[in-house]
Amino acid sequence: QVQLQESGPGLVKSSETLSLTCTVSGGSISSYSWSWIRQPPGKGLEWIGYIYYSGSANYNPSLKSRVTISIDTSMNQVSLKLSSVSAADTAVFYCARYSKSSHYNYYYMDIWGKGTTVTVSS
């Protein structure tokens, strides 16, 4: 079955750029959208953005100026870049498949990676 695996540095210095990769296995990255979500320690879920397999993306307005999500269909990977990080960006980062139901246009995140913890240090 389809599995997602997030990877990247667990420690990033303040003001630098956080870069993460989500590798999709067991299925094709095409025909789906892919989302990034983060969860600060002890807090709730925050949507970061998602990208369609075509390459167009939508971002959380509060992060839009610092976020870039890209897709590499040849590698079956989705990438996240978050620039100018601070301690407030310390979180568990998840990637998730953003699927569309077979009828109507209902979208939901049906498959999630296990998440990767990123700590921003000063």
Partner 1 sequence: DIQLTQSPSSLSASVGDRVTITCRASQSITTYLNWYQQNPGKAPKLLIYAASSLQSGVPSRFSGSGSGTDFTLTISSLQPEDFATYYCQQSYSTLLTFGQGTRLEIK
Query: Where do contacts with partner 1 occur on this chain (CB under 8 A)?
Result: 35, 37, 44-47, 50, 58, 60-61, 94, 96, 101, 104, 106-110, 112-115
Closest to partner 1 by CB, 16 or 53: 53
Neighbours of 113 (CB within 10 A): 20
Closest to partner 1 by CB, 13 or 43: 43
Q: Quick one: which of 97, 117, 121, 104 has its CA closest to 40?
A: 117
Closest contact distance (angstroms) between CB of 101 and partner 1 is 6
Closest contact distance (angstroms) between CB of 92 and partner 1 is 9
Closest contact distance (angstroms) between CB of 13 and partner 1 is 26
Closest contact distance (angstroms) between CB of 42 and partner 1 is 11
d(CA 119, CA 27): 30
Closest to partner 1 by CB, 23 or 58: 58
With tokens 């040849």, the residue in question is 74
- What are 67's two structure tokens? 């976020």
* C-alpha triplet 92, 17, 114: angle, nearest 5°: 20
Q: Which neighbouring-strand residues pair with 92?
A: 39, 117
The helix/strand/coil state of 95 is strand
Closest to partner 1 by CB, 16 or 46: 46
